Amino acid sequence: MEKGIKNIIFDLGGVLIDLDIDRCLREFKALGVSNVEELVNSTHTAGVFSALEHGKVSPAEFRDEIRRLAGNPELTDAQIDNAWLSILLEIPQKKLDLLLRLNRKYRVFLLSNTNEIHFDWIRRTQFEKDGHRLSDYFEQCFLSHKMGLAKPEDEIFEEVINEAQIFARETLYIDDSEKNLNASLNWCFNTYCAAPGEDLAPLFENLVNE
């Protein structure tokens, strides 16, 4: 890793937590949302999924729109949530351990295009286990649905810099989207594009081996 790095910003989906988009698409199609592939894919969300990600609709409003799209007002909240949560797999333990180690020497942040349904589940089942809290892993979490902004919008990077009081040149930003990473270059972040399922420990070999 480059010298002079003081801060690390992690993306969540596809970098820390593994995803299964195909399973999610199958689940929504089974509920009757036949056009779900137009709304969710590996690079972006659209329609009500994007609105949920931006915090423009509540989870309740999201579920009502899914019922409308499916043409089935009898769909339960649990059925809809389970279909949406099916995109999420887990955060490998080695990545959780890495985050804890990195926190000893770096300021570590999370920057994610996410939503209330997903993040509540991830927080409870992935981070808040084995006696840990979310704050053990991240100094601060920047979440699209809380900010009303999403990557690669320029404003989201400006807000992260200002809120965290960091210098982009001293910050490594890790994401699995080239589009998001390229947008961050406008602010002079150091960037790394993570591959699906990649072990990130080698990036920080010197620290991990100390």
Q: What is the pLDDT along the chain (210 residues), one digit of tens a residue?
A: 667 999 999 999 999 999 999 999 999 999 999 999 999 987 789 999 999 999 999 999 999 999 999 999 999 999 999 999 999 999 999 999 999 999 999 999 999 999 999 999 999 999 999 999 999 999 999 999 999 999 999 999 999 999 999 999 999 999 999 999 999 999 999 999 999 999 999 999 865 444
Residue 11 known to be catalytic: yes
Name the CATH superfamily for 21-85: Putative phosphatase; domain 2 (1.10.150.240)
Edge-to-edge strands of the sheet including 140-143?
Answer: 140-143, 107-112, 7-10, 171-175, 190-193
Q: What is the pTM of this model?
A: 0.94
What are the sequence ranges of the domains in the chain? 7-18+91-208, 21-85
- Same fold flag, 7-18+91-208 and 21-85: no
Q: Please state which architecture CATH assigns to domain 7-18+91-208.
A: 3-Layer(aba) Sandwich (3.40)
Catalytic residue among 11, 81, 175, 176: 11
